[in-house]
Structure 1
Amino acid sequence: MWGRTASFILDKNNLSQFPSPYSSPSESSSMDRSNPRPGISAYYQTRAEHHVTSDWLAQAHAALLKEEEEEGDLPPSAPGSIVKPFSVIDEFNHWRKKPDLAEAVAAIMALAAVIRSSEATTMMELEIELKKASDTLKSWDATSISLSAGCDLFMRYVTRTSALEYEDFHAAKLRLIERGEKFGEISMKARRTIALLSQDFILDGCTILVHGFSRVILEVLKLAVSNRKLFTVFCTEGRPDGTGLKLSKELAALGIPVKLLIDSAAAYVMDEVDMVLVGADGVVESGGIINMMGTYQIAIVAHSMDKPVYVAAESYKFARLYPLDQKDMEPALRPINFGVPVPPDVEVETSARDYTPPQYLTLLFTDLGILTPSVVSDELIQLYL
């Protein structure tokens, strides 16, 4: 039932209209927006804030069009008025406020704005300015894998171009702006591409186990519903922030039969499940993933019962990391509320995510195609080198 190969799916869907975004070449400022809760990583604080309530791509495009129209109606600045200097963090936070945009995409759009607003007069100055802005964004939350990977990939994609060889700096800068905006556009469409690629794996009558909230998983399931597929979803509650509750509400609104589980019930229901479908905070060089705490144990149980584990992840989450164990990565802390007082001499585990090794994963649905874990390292080499 689940024996279809990635090449079969790619050939069947004829997805040549979605080329790899990386295949053809063609501010530093003080962090004035500090995390409101310094004891908890920004990664975890913002994770539950952004969840899809309608078509994410249409919303993003509509919001951008509205801003451009409003900006066009504004009168020019009065003589002597003070113009606020450009801040990459301000620009990043502006895009971050859009409910359906991932942090990595917000960073990509902010870096594209750096190029547009730059007053550099040489390519070297512009590259240095871009590098400082990228480092500033990455330091905003050092625990966010997708944020760091998105910045690194943007730098590779934009600066790896023949524009750097142009004698005319103005022409070279226009070329960089064009490539930066193209990268942002490709990144914004990544979820839709993944949803299209994954549809042949969702069959009528199947039962899917999902863990926590993932915008790309929701996009996949929304498209399956629009294709009139009939399936059931088992949704873990996603403690401690209840992200699974939010996802179950979204799925129920789409008319999908949903069963909500406590996180520790995954093994209990696994014999009723046809497939596990999870998102990822990061895809690493080994082909494994870093994701919400509990993904690892679900994957182990699924593997022991011969259930496929599919991962849906955008390519801007591919990171140059190679964790060797659970502690071999930057910790992302979370608040824990047990509902009862915790004795002061009792230590509480507050890590928000775990690492799932590649041997427990079946396939990865990405905007670069459907990949086996073993070829992820090859894709990473192409992305970064």
Structure 2
Amino acid sequence: MMILKTVPGVAGRIKRLEIQGATNIAISAVKALSQELKDFGGSKEEIDHVLTEATRMLVESRATEPMMRNGLKYIRSQLTAEAPSSRDSFKKVVTQIEERILEMYQGGRQHIMEIGAKRIRDGDIILTHCHSSAVTGALMLAHEMGKVFKVINTETRPKYQGRITSRELVEAGIDTTMIVDSAARHYMKEVDFVIVGCDALTSEGNIINKIGTSQVALAAYEARIPFYVLGTLLKFEPITIHGHYEAIEERNTNEIWADPPEGLKIRNSAFDVTRRDYVSGLISEEGLISPHSILEAIHRHYPWILD
């Protein structure tokens, strides 16, 4: 029985949130699977084993990560289509496939950040929730353009990912204020617009992101404040076309309270769903689009996701 060398460690780091953020998770997973394939290579049986076991292990590391699953799916489909005949050609093909999917990830993110930065004006006060590398990248890019603005960000319990956002922005020289999650509605009256990342996109145009996002969106909608989402179309979850719901990860309750009183029930959902009606626009590879048109955009950019 072949033993995987790279994937178990990466899957463990994803599960423990040592690797976080949908894009970072997807990149790490693609690199890990590619390395395993190049380490083993060879017979069809070996390839099938690595693809099956490595994919299973990575997918099980976090439930709500369609961007990762789509990347792993791309590797399998491209290997099947190209069918390399020798070990040397196999390694070369795997490397080429890896480079293509990573270019989709990284090139798409850069374009999204540039569009997001253009939405920011001098004097804006922007609220964000949790940590998104695309969001912080857009904010830092706007700052590099010479724009002067302020950011309010939530602490994002229970793992405090908002601290990552705060640290990155402050170190970049951006005027940043952190608030507790429950204060988002209170401060919404000071905000010009909200900008968040996302972990998944559904066929209905709904957005899945860190728990608390839907409450921020609802507060913005009530206050008539624009609510923008930054996210690559590679985060689309194809099973939602057929009526299935995207699984929402339930994390260990110890993250909320390590020694609760006996008999207390605790829920620790990692994500929630924001209805498309509360989203002013999705900033994606295609530009600023309506969440109602996500499925059409997938057909234009990544039709293989729907196979």
Q: What TM-score, normalized to structure 2?
A: 0.81
C-alpha deviation, 1:306, in angstroms: 2.0
- How far apart are residue 130 of structure 1 and its match? 3.1
Distance 1:148 1:171, change over 3 A: closer
Picking from 66, 84, 102, the partner of 2:24 is 102
Structure 2 residue 17 is matched with structure 1 residue 46: yes
The residue aligned with 2:154 is 236
Q: 1:152 aligns with which of 60, 70, 73?
A: 73
Work out which of the residue numbers 223, 229, 237 in structure 2 matches 1:319.
237
Whether the aligned pair in 1 keeps the contact of 2:280 and 2:290 (CA below 8 Å) is: yes
Change (3 A) 1:184 1:297: same
What SS does the corresponding residue of 2:288 show, helix, strand or coil? strand
Distance apart, 1:168 and its partner CA? 8.1
| Code of the aligned partner of 2:16 | Q
Q: Report which of the two has the higher share of helix.
A: 2
Is the Cα contact below 8 Å between 1:112 and 1:181 reproduced in 2?
no
Residues matched between the structures, number = 299
Q: Distance in 1 between matches of 2:98 and 2:51?
A: 11
Which residue matches 2:120? Answer: 202
Question: Counterpart of 1:260 in 2: which secondary structure?
Answer: strand
- Shift in Å, 1:137: 2.3
Equivalent residues of 1:29, 1:136 under 8 A apart: no
1:1-385 matches, within 5 Å, as 29=4, 33=9, 45-46=16-17, 102-121=24-43, 126=47, 129-156=50-77, 158-159=78-79, 161=81, 163-164=82-83, 174-322=92-240, 329-334=247-252, 335-337=254-256, 342-381=260-299, 382-384=303-305, 385=307
Partner SS, residue 203 of structure 1: coil
Answer whether contact 2:127 2:151 (CA < 8 A) is retained.
yes
CA RMSD across the alignment: 3.5
Q: 1:153 to 1:301 in 2, by over 3 A?
A: farther
Structure-1 separation of matches of 2:114 and 2:80: 29
Q: Is residue 149–residue 175 contact of structure 2 (8 Å, CA) maintained in 1?
A: yes
Summarize the Cα distance change of 1:176–1:368 in structure 2 as closer, same or farther, 3 Å threshold: farther
Q: Equivalents in 1 of 2:246, 2:262: separation in Å?
A: 28
- In the alignment, is the contact (CA less than 8 A) between 1:143 and 1:332 conserved in 2? no
Q: Are residues 142 and 354 of structure 1, via their aligned partners in 2, closer, same or farther at CA, if it must alter by over 3 Å?
A: closer
2:62, 2:249 within 8 Å by CA — same for their partners in 1?
Answer: no
Q: Give me the identity figure in percent.
A: 25
The CA distance in 2 between the partners of 1:233 and 1:263, in whole Å, is 15
C-alpha separation in 2, matches of 1:262 and 1:205: 23
Measure, in 1, the Cα distance between the counterparts of 2:65 and 2:235.
10
Distance 1:193 1:239, change over 3 A: same
- Provide Cα deviations, 1:34-87, integer angstroms capped at 9, x if missing partner: 987xxxxx756316x659xxxxxxxxxxxxxxxxxxxxxxxxxxxxxxxxxxxx
Residue equivalent to 1:83 = none
Unaligned residue ranges in structure 1 (runs of 5+):
1-26, 37-41, 52-99
Amino acid at match of 2:38: R
User: Structure 1 residue 169: deviation in Å?
Assistant: 8.7
1:227 Cα deviation after fit: 0.4
Retained in 2: the 8 A contact 1:202–1:224?
Answer: yes
